[in-house]
Structure 1
Amino acid sequence: MSDASERRNGGAVQRITATAFGPYQTAIVRIGFAATWLLFLLRELPNRHEMYGPQGPWSWEMGRRLISGNDAFTALMWSDSTLWFEVVYAAAVLSSALLLVGWRTRTMSALFMIGVLSLQNRSIFMGDGGDNVIHLMAIYLVVTRCGQVWSLDARRAARATEREHEARESGVPESEARVAGRTQRDRVGPLLWTVLGAALVIATFLNDTGWFILLLLWVLWVGQGLWWMANRRAPQGEPRILLDALANLAHNAGLLVIMAEVCLIYATAGWYKIQGSRWQDGTALYYPLKLDYFTPWPALSDLLASGGLMVLVLTYGTVVVQVAFPFTLFNRRVKNVLLVAMMLEHAGIAVLLGLPFFSLAMIAADAVFLPTAFLVWLGARVVRGRDRVFSRAPAVPEQRQESPEQPRTLVG
């Protein structure tokens, strides 16, 4: 019995370290949050100076006093010049776009995190609730391998596999074929690593708060260097296997934290609502529909607010869905039904209350629980639609990719 238990435990550890779970879920979360932040930055481009710039109502000196007290990280505290602000804002936009398409995903996720933290911690009173979710997820995404699918990195890896296969077919020994496929000369990666390393050295001297984030960036930078060396010198050696296992372990831990964070958000929101008298009597939804600030479509808001039964159903339904969702993860069908209900709820909030970026952030967070089969189907439909738009030859029917089996109680 003891031996059987040890074998099971050993198999579980091996699976956790040998497999990066949820490749499609982490990819859709990456795309969702990168797109949300990018759209927000582009929409606020004309207002960026008033929101986050040194000439805004929340002055640079006020921001510096706050940062010195809460030890938050923001690159905008390194200088109060307008030029530096423009550089940081442009870098935030660029990193969001590159993370969206999955180019050098590990590096872009770190730069994405820097952009999010720099702007949000500069002016903490800007936001609608969705900024808190983006803030947290930007940190969690750094440790995930969110570019395994639906990314330019995945396409580059697929091409390396094709080169390896071609080398094998040409009669090259298997060990040399692996080297030919995996060690294609990469000039961009080392150059990017060197430039960012120099920037990190300068940032270390300029920074006086947020040391945890700076330490995380140093760990990532050193890890990327070790990864490149191991992949270059010994693609199948023990150092590469060890680094791969550590990366998978960090990815799986990050994925679990993202899932737990989403459950925590809904659980706390639902239980706090239960304690409110307006949620108890079923009238809570009525009041925001009558506030000018939250009524981009007054006629539609008035129409919904005039239906007492509809207001009652939606108010109670919101509480029930949020409280019940964490408990439905053990039942795949019920979980999927509530997941659709929550996404529709956030879509309604975006339209009725005029909070599109809050809704996009929450939908992107919810997407971590989408079934793998649905995401594979969705990806195939997107590829076919892309091919039709660009008038390409009909795409070859995509083979269903074997993805790691997801924990039934979490991702199913």
Structure 2
Amino acid sequence: MPSGPAAGAATPVETVAARAVRIASATALGPYQSAVVRIGFSATWLFFLLRELPNRRELYGPDGPWGWDLGSRLIAGNHAFTSLLWTDSTIWFEIVYALALVSSALLMLGWRTRTTSVVFMIGVLSLQNRSVFVGDGGDNVIHLMAIYLVFTRCAQVWSLDARRAARGAARDRIGPVLWAVCGLALLAGTWRTSAAGVSGGGEWWLWVVFWGMWAVQGLWWATGRFAAAESRALLDVLGNLVHNAAMVVIMAEVCLIYATAGWYKIQGTRWQDGTALFYPLKLDYFSPWPELSSLLGASGVIVMLLTYGTVMVQVAFPFTLFNRRVKNVLLVAMMLEHAGIAVLLGLPFFSLAMIAADAVFLPTSFLRRVGAVAGRAWRGVRLPEQRRERDGASERPRTLVG
């Protein structure tokens, strides 16, 4: 008799693979991490747009040095998407900028995230692709994460959507209206870029993706409203798979950023002799606190520790994902590093973008504790107000009616 496994019996590898597929399809993993990424990137972009509100026309609008003709020639060559080149109207620019602001705020709050995440992505692509030479490395990270967030279920916790789902709201009237408005806007955009032949519409397949997202959103609502439970369960499985794949891509993107940055630093001499950190500390443009920058730059030991520490942390981080404790230590070190960049070099939005990207690796237990503390603080603020309202109601004179 053969001593091997019985015919048809699953091997350990097949068992592990089947379990992984079952978990990935049954659950949208990382709900707290995806919520932090959503809040972090939408808040970073919102604060950036608010800070540059007085300078918006010089950065992305008709008053900038990167004029309409230069922008049109660039977009005609790289086929990028930007709605700001559909027309040179100042009113249209203000509308797009306002939509970018509103969508960032709504996405941060988690209101109708399936729709607002797409509008948020369109706003990011429209503004950044209009003037590609404006910004820093943080813009590139926001550019990528805005695309990835569209495919995540990032409103499972800490959002108005989660609050509405927990309340078990009855018939949804806002969703169909919002879906119809988005369909009309999508139809107008498709006509503008195809029939009118204006630049800034991107490749044709991009509009296929937009229409596909719009159709999936309608199918999702119709299935939940009219179809059987099995059909909705199938859509949930597909949504979980897409979400989990997008979360893996986000984590891989963060690891790729740090790995490439660290290995490129190793190959250069400026990070070996410390001049890559020393020179920026002496530049007025990167010295919001000149006294502090001079103090750090005057110490060769501090410059050496910061230089070699930065390189070692960036190179080692992707390999520490297999050890939770070491990963958490390096994660704190990288967040502190970006906080230092924000203070010393005056790059707050780059640092906020990178900290938001790092947050995808934060432990779930830590995020739950942070949420619990924030919830208790919020209830502590609300309870005195509710108590005052109750006391005020009890002091009102009662009438005979009611």
TM-score strictly above 0.5 = yes
Task: Quote the offset at 1:390 in angstroms.
Answer: 3.7
Tell me which of 6, 10, 16 is aligned to 1:4: 10
- Give 2:47's aligned residue: 39
Is 1:198 matched with 2:184?
yes
- Give 2:112's aligned residue: 104
- Give 1:265's aligned residue: 257
Is 1:74 matched with 2:82?
yes
Distance in 2, Cα, partners of 1:248 & 1:107: 17
Q: Tell me how many residue pairs correspond in the alignment.
A: 371
Is 1:30 matched with 2:34?
no
- Give 1:295's aligned residue: 287
User: What SS does the aligned partner of 2:157 have?
Assistant: coil
Give per-residue Cα distances to partners, 1:57-94, cap 9 Å, x unaligned: 10112111111111111111111100000000000000
- Give 2:212's aligned residue: 219
**8 A Cα contact 1:109 1:138, kept in partner:** yes
Is 1:276 matched with 2:262?
no
Task: Quote the offset at 1:393 in angstroms.
Answer: 8.2
**8 A Cα contact 1:325 1:338, kept in partner:** yes
User: What SS does the aligned partner of 1:294 have?
Assistant: coil
**8 A Cα contact 1:36 1:361, kept in partner:** yes
**8 A Cα contact 1:38 1:96, kept in partner:** yes
Task: Quote the offset at 1:13 in angstroms.
Answer: 1.9
Is 1:148 matched with 2:156?
yes
User: What SS does the aligned partner of 1:3 have?
Assistant: coil
Give per-residue Cα distances to partners, 1:347-392, cap 9 Å, x unaligned: 0000000000000000000000000000000111111222233444
Distance in 2, Cα, partners of 1:213 & 1:139: 12
Distance in 2, Cα, partners of 1:214 & 1:125: 25
**8 A Cα contact 1:387 1:393, kept in partner:** no
- Give 1:309's aligned residue: 301
**8 A Cα contact 1:283 1:312, kept in partner:** no
- Give 1:18's aligned residue: 26
Query: In structure 2, what residue type is equivalent to 1:317?
Result: G
**8 A Cα contact 1:25 1:369, kept in partner:** yes
Tell me which of 297, 312, 335 is aligned to 1:320: 312
Distance in 2, Cα, partners of 1:213 & 1:318: 38
Is 1:83 matched with 2:91?
yes
User: What SS does the aligned partner of 1:4 have?
Assistant: coil
- Give 1:230's aligned residue: 223
Structure 1: runs of 5+ lacking an equivalent: 161-180, 395-412
Query: In structure 2, what residue type is equivalent to 1:189?
Result: G
Distance in 2, Cα, partners of 1:210 & 1:297: 45
Query: In structure 1, what residue type is equivalent to 2:36?
Result: I
**8 A Cα contact 1:266 1:325, kept in partner:** yes
Task: Quote the offset at 1:206 in angstroms.
Answer: 1.4
- Give 2:102's aligned residue: 94
Query: In structure 1, what residue type is equivalent to 2:223?
Result: A
Distance in 2, Cα, partners of 1:241 & 1:108: 24
Distance in 1, Cα, partners of 2:320 & 2:187: 47
| Closer/same/farther in 2, CA of residues 8 and 272 from structure 1, 3 Å limit | closer
Q: Answer with 217-226 or 252-261: which moved more.
A: 217-226
Distance in 2, Cα, partners of 1:73 & 1:352: 35
Is 1:189 matched with 2:189?
no
**Larger Cα-atom Rg:** 2
Task: Quote the offset at 1:219 in angstroms.
Answer: 1.4
Distance in 1, Cα, partners of 2:245 & 2:384: 40
Distance in 1, Cα, partners of 2:139 & 2:9: 49
Tell me which of 92, 98, 122 is aligned to 1:114: 122
Task: Quote the offset at 1:7 in angstroms.
Answer: 4.7
Task: Quote the offset at 1:212 in angstroms.
Answer: 3.8
**8 A Cα contact 1:343 1:366, kept in partner:** yes
Q: Answer with 270-279 or 6-15: which moved more.
A: 6-15
Distance in 1, Cα, partners of 2:368 & 2:204: 39
Give the % identical residues: 69
Distance in 2, Cα, partners of 1:352 & 1:380: 33
Query: In structure 1, what residue type is equivalent to 2:68?
Result: W
Structure 2: runs of 5+ lacking an equivalent: 194-200, 387-402
Q: Answer with 53-62 or 314-323: which moved more.
A: 53-62
Distance in 2, Cα, partners of 1:3 & 1:133: 46
The Cα RMSD (Å) is 1.4
User: What SS does the aligned partner of 1:296 have?
Assistant: coil
User: What SS does the aligned partner of 2:95 have?
Assistant: helix
Distance in 2, Cα, partners of 1:302 & 1:10: 58
| Closer/same/farther in 2, CA of residues 327 and 124 from structure 1, 3 Å limit | same
Query: In structure 2, what residue type is equivalent to 1:293?
Result: Y
Is 1:368 matched with 2:376?
no
Tell me which of 332, 336, 355 is aligned to 2:347: 355
